[in-house]
Amino acid sequence: MHTRTLFAGLIAAAMTLTGLAAGTATASAADTTGTEPAGTETITLNAASSGAVKGHTYRIVQVAGYEHQTYDEDGNLTSLSVVTEPGDVLTGTTQALSDTLGDAGAWNTGDYKDNPMGYIASESELFSSSTAAPWSGNLRTFLSKLAANSDFQKVAGTTFTADTEPYTITGLAAGLYVITDVTAADAYGDGDDKADQKHTNSIPMLVATKSEGKTFKESAAPLGEIVVKNQSTTIDKVIVKNGKEYTGTEEKIGDRVTFRLTSTVPVTTGYSNDRDHPYLFTMTDTMSKGLSDPKVESVTIGGKALAAAADGTEANAGQYQLTTQPNVAYDAADTESKATKLTFDLSEAVYEAGQNATSPKAGDEIVITYTALLNKDAVHANTDNGFSGNPNKVTLSYSHDPASNETHEVPGPEVKVYTFDFGFTKVKADGETSLDGAKFTISKDGAYLRFDKGTGLWSTTSSEHKFAGNGGRFDFAGLGEGTYRIDETDVPTGYLTNMKASFTVTITATDKDDKGNLKSGKYTVSVTQGALGLVSASDNGTASPTVRVKNITSITQLPMTGAAGTTLFTVLAVLVIGAGLAIAIKVRHARKRLG
């Protein structure tokens, strides 16, 4: 096998993928005699962000050794030869290089005969890759093909799991190494022995060690180190209300709630995308039974809108595919199976964007906005259910391993929508006996509320909508936070028609953080008395006050204290004045007749 003497500048290509630029020193009269490497070397895996290395399992294979290194008078490395390892390494690297160049092995001649790694190291201009995402280029293509090569996969190499961050591999012979991240999907999760769920497997990396502990004088970074090239891919979910984002909010049943999902385009360089190994990127959103009828408002990548692919077709790079599954279980504890699952498939669009250096590109934001109806099956917050809400969760599933396109799931946050109840009982003047036959309206912010018994939904209307109650009981269930006005429009037969109750009810969500997010469905109901004093509320200001609203047959049944008492005296005064005027008029008429 022929070898090629390589200077520091020529080995730069091999360093490119590590994020290190080798020096540019050249041989000179001060160089010492060539030597064979002695001792062992190390490679340190550095993390670009917390969790990028720790918990990951790697396979390291030596693909080339060093020979005939030379040093200057200060002991700095000036040149060396790169020699490809024999056996399956040689077979695999030879095939991967030929596939990368597409020249059917035309490179495999002369000084580079059976030395593909020597050829790569010497052809620095041809074998360069970007030092930042998306890390594209011939060297990246070569490594991706090599990692997938069946002969190279036969090489045992050494497998280890990093238990620290950074992590240093020791006892290595000097040379070039390919490091692949072989972390299994089930190795991700919570716990000190698990890999961070937010990170992907790294793309294959080519790393050059030092030689006898020495590096090139003008190296941009030392040999034997690499920043692991994986990504932190996350999924976020919020409720959007009045232009602000929340993780918990309140609504009335019948309202449409706006949800927003966000993620970022990962680098897809090094991943395959074909029939046998398709690249996958999906967001699965699961709405509990109280949320339904989803309507997509927009799907964008880097601000560019994607169109919805037609049912039964595969989405292209400018489209997304939405699959809706009704009547599924929300989680393992759900026995009703009334939840709805939405799967947004953005695989083609994300794969293409992840290959780009210009927008839409890797790192761009993915945004999905849709609305859903808070329906009649919604959970109403109360003391019996611990003030529960209506949850909505999301999971990101994506190809996390460049070698296999094996998918990995990242759970996103769960958001909740809460809804509240209040009610009252219509009673006789004794304040205890239920009374049927009255009718009321309920309004908020100047608009009347209407309830459709068929759909179980609230809506607003400009015309009054009367509620008749049930045996004197009036329940207004599934309302949002705010102040409501209750007005009696019809009184039961036999009761004073000009003594109708009117009062306000304020529902207040009480368990909020400093950003206004509801942490639970805890709330209070506060009733404000009307002028006539016909309303009483025990436990006022709690989640379930006992509210009674009277009807009377005589004004003497009005309360004698407070504003109601004042009202009573005003009424009596009006009656007395009216009676006095009537007597005065009669006396005047009598005098006229006598005169």
| Closest residue by Cα to residue 22 from 124, 174, 175 | 124
Beta bridge partners of 65: 83, 175
15 vs 148, residue with greater confidence: 148
461 vs 71, residue with greater confidence: 461
Q: How confident is the model at residue 13 (pLDDT cuts 50, 70, 90)?
A: very low
Q: How confident is the model at residue 197 (pLDDT cuts 50, 70, 90)?
A: low
Mean pLDDT, the chain, rounded, equals 86
- CATH fold of 420-558, please? Immunoglobulin-like (2.60.40)
**Are the CB atoms for 517 and 248 separated by under 8 Å?**
yes
Contacts of 165 (CB under 8 A, 6+ apart): 47, 50, 51, 52, 53, 54
Amino acid at position 300, single letter = T
Amino acid at position 252, single letter = K
Share of the chain above pLDDT 70, in %: 85
Tell me what pLDDT residue 38 has.
Answer: 83
Q: Does pLDDT of 188 surpass 80?
A: no
What are the backbone angles phi and psi of residue 284, rounded to the nearest 5°? -110, 115
Report CA-CA distances (Å) from 266 to 134, 205, 233, 314, 360. 9, 17, 7, 21, 11
Q: How confident is the model at residue 130 (pLDDT cuts 50, 70, 90)?
A: very low
pTM of the entire predicted model: 0.77
Q: 353-402 pLDDT, tens per residue?
A: 988 777 788 889 999 999 999 999 999 999 999 999 999 999 999 987 77
Q: Does pLDDT of 23 surpass 80?
A: no
Report CA-CA distances (Å) from 425 to 377, 428, 467, 470, 589. 25, 10, 13, 9, 50
Q: Does pLDDT of 480 surpass 90?
A: yes
160 vs 7, residue with greater confidence: 160
3-state secondary structure labels for all residues of 14-74: HHHCCCCCCCCCCCCCCCCCCECCCCCEEEEEECCCCCCCCCCEEEEEEEEEEEEEEECCC
Q: 405-455 pLDDT, tens per residue?
A: 778 788 999 999 999 999 999 999 999 999 999 999 999 999 999 999 999
**Are the CB atoms for 422 and 480 separated by under 8 Å?**
no
Q: How confident is the model at residue 583 (pLDDT cuts 50, 70, 90)?
A: low
List of E strands, 428-569: 439-444, 447-452, 457-461, 473-479, 482-490, 502-509, 523-528, 535-538, 546-550
Task: Compute the radius of gyration of the chain from its Cα atoms.
Answer: 38
Place of tokens 């003047």: 429
**Are the CB atoms for 324 and 285 separated by under 8 Å?**
no
Give the β-pairing of 319-328 and 307-308.
Answer: parallel
User: Are 236-416 and 420-558 the same fold in CATH?
Assistant: yes
- Level-2 CATH architecture, domain 236-416: Sandwich (2.60)
339: DSSP letter = E
Report CA-CA distances (Å) from 77 to 37, 177, 212, 535, 546. 11, 19, 9, 93, 87
Tell me what pLDDT residue 585 has.
Answer: 53
Residue boundaries of the structural domains of the chain = 5-227, 236-416, 420-558
Q: In the β-sheet with 365-374, what is the strand arrangement from edge to edge? A: 244-246, 236-241, 256-264, 365-374, 291-301, 304-305
| Closest residue by Cα to residue 179 from 221, 208, 150 | 208
**Are the CB atoms for 369 and 260 separated by under 8 Å?**
yes
Q: Does pLDDT of 573 surpass 80?
A: no
176-180, 414-418, 562-566: lowest mean pLDDT where? Answer: 562-566
Q: Is the dihedral of CA 459, 460, 466, 472 positive or negative?
A: positive
Report CA-CA distances (Å) from 101 to 120, 145, 169. 11, 11, 32
